[in-house]
């Protein structure tokens, strides 16, 4: 990587039954980030949909879309108009079963790629009848990275950040930036755990960690669903680089510095010394 590259994460929320308001919010945020120089804009997990994992799956199956559906159409157009690549989360229809919780990349030239299917699906919470495995199919245990401008980027979807193997696989795949698409909620997490996970994983693997999170309380299911994640960025040395205030809808930007990456990789012994067997394969992206 020969020069600084600006990447941005866009907080979004809360969602309702109609995705159109969050499509418009995403379009405005993508445009603002691109005007500030961002070559990549990251949106949260399932960014335009309410979080309904605890609800009866049959009532919400219609939320899944194909690659030529309206969410892809909106974000592809935003990428082409802004000139920035956009990494976003959506429910991707799956002909062989439940949809995938997916991360897709829309490029400024109109191409759309599937970067990740969520590998780990969190179970039902205490006292809840359903969890994500009732709504989605798990992805294959594989992590890839792709070139976006001068950097290589991998995507992890929310709960996958909990598993150090996912970060290690991203680093082994050549990622310099690991984008984490965050939904929620995570009401049982100890205070500070979410940020600590990102910080430790960024430093251990000498990668930038850039998390785009949903915020706010959704009521579309008839009961409040709170999103607790924060939109923030850590450097490959573990330093906190940027943090968005809760409910701040402005893009959070971070410069990906090749010198900082090189220094972190030269001085961090952990990143180069894993001797345990690899549990995940490094794979080509899904399409």
Residue 240 parent element (H or E): strand 240-243
* Separation between Cα atoms, residue 285 and residue 151, nearest integer Å: 16
In this prediction, residue 89 carries a pLDDT of: 98
Question: Tell me, what's the pLDDT at 109?
Answer: 98
For residue 287, the model assigns a pLDDT of: 65
User: Rg (Cα) of the chain, in Å, rounded?
Assistant: 17
Contact 65, 92 (CB under 8 A): yes
Between CA 189 and CA 72 the distance in angstroms is 32
The answer to whether residues 235 and 202 touch, using CB atoms and an 8 Å cutoff, is yes
> How far from 238 is each of 39, 124, 202, 205, 215, CA to CA, in Å?
23, 32, 6, 10, 24
- pLDDT score at 58: 84
Q: What CATH number did the domain enclosing 63 receive?
A: 3.60.110.10
Cα 46–Cα 47–Cα 51 angle in degrees, nearest 5: 55
Domain for residue 287, yes or no?
no
- Contact predicate 253/33, CB 8 Å: yes
Q: Is residue 249 a part of any domain in this protein?
A: yes
Domain count of the chain?
1
Q: Is residue 137 part of a domain?
A: yes
243 in a domain, yes or no?
yes
Pairwise CA distance, residues 99 & 135, whole Å:
7
For residues 131-170, one letter each, b for 16 or more C-beta atoms within 10 angstroms of the residue's C-beta and e for the rest, the string is ebbbbbbebeebbbbbebbebbbbbbbbbbbebebbbbbb
Using DSSP's 3-state secondary structure scheme, residue 41 falls into strand
Residues forming a β-bridge with 155: 179
Reading the block at residue 218, the tokens are 């959704």
Place of tokens 């974000």: 75
In a domain, 106, yes or no: yes
Q: Which residue has the tokens 């930007």?
A: 253
Q: Is residue 36 part of a domain?
A: yes
Domain that holds residue 276: 5-282
Full pLDDT tens readout for the chain, 287 residues: 556 899 999 999 899 989 999 999 999 999 999 999 999 999 999 999 999 999 999 888 888 999 999 999 999 999 999 999 999 999 999 998 899 999 999 999 999 999 999 999 999 988 889 999 999 999 999 999 999 999 999 999 999 999 999 999 999 999 999 999 999 756 778 888 999 999 999 999 999 999 999 988 999 888 888 887 799 999 999 999 999 977 788 999 999 999 999 999 999 888 777 676 665 666 678 76
Task: Tell me, yes or no, whether 59 lies in a domain.
Answer: yes
Cα torsion 168, 173, 175, 180: sign: negative
pTM: 0.95
């Amino acid at each position: 990587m020969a020069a600084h590259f600006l990447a941005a994460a866009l907080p979004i929320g809360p969602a309702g039954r109609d995705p159109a308001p969050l499509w418009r919010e995403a379009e405005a945020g993508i445009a603002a980030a691109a005007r500030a120089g961002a070559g990549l804009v990251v949106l949260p997990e399932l960014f335009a949909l309410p979080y309904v994992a605890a609800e009866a799956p049959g009532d919400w199956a219609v939320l899944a879309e194909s690659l030529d559906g309206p969410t892809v159409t909106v974000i592809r157009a935003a990428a082409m108009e802004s000139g920035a690549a956009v990494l976003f989360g959506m429910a991707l229809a799956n002909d062989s079963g439940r949809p995938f919780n997916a991360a897709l990349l829309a490029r400024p030239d109109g191409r759309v790629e599937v970067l990740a299917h969520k590998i780990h699906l969190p179970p039902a919470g205490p006292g809840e009848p359903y969890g994500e495995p009732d709504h989605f199919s798990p992805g294959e245990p594989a992590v890839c990275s792709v070139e976006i401008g001068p950097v290589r980027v991998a995507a992890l979807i929310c709960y996958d950040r909990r598993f150090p193997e996912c970060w290690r696989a991203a680093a082994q795949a050549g990622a310099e930036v690991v984008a984490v698409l965050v939904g929620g909620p995570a009401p049982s997490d100890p205070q500070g755990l979410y940020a600590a996970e990102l910080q430790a994983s960024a430093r251990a693997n000498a990668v930038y960690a850039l998390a785009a999170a949903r915020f706010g309380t959704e009521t579309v299911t008839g009961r409040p669903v709170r999103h607790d994640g924060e939109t923030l960025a850590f450097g490959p040395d573990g330093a906190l680089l940027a943090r968005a205030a809760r409910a701040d809808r402005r893009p959070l930007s971070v410069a990906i510095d090749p010198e900082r990456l090189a220094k972190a990789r030269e001085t961090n012994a952990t990143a180069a010394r894993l001797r345990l067997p690899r549990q995940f394969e490094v794979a080509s992206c899904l399409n």
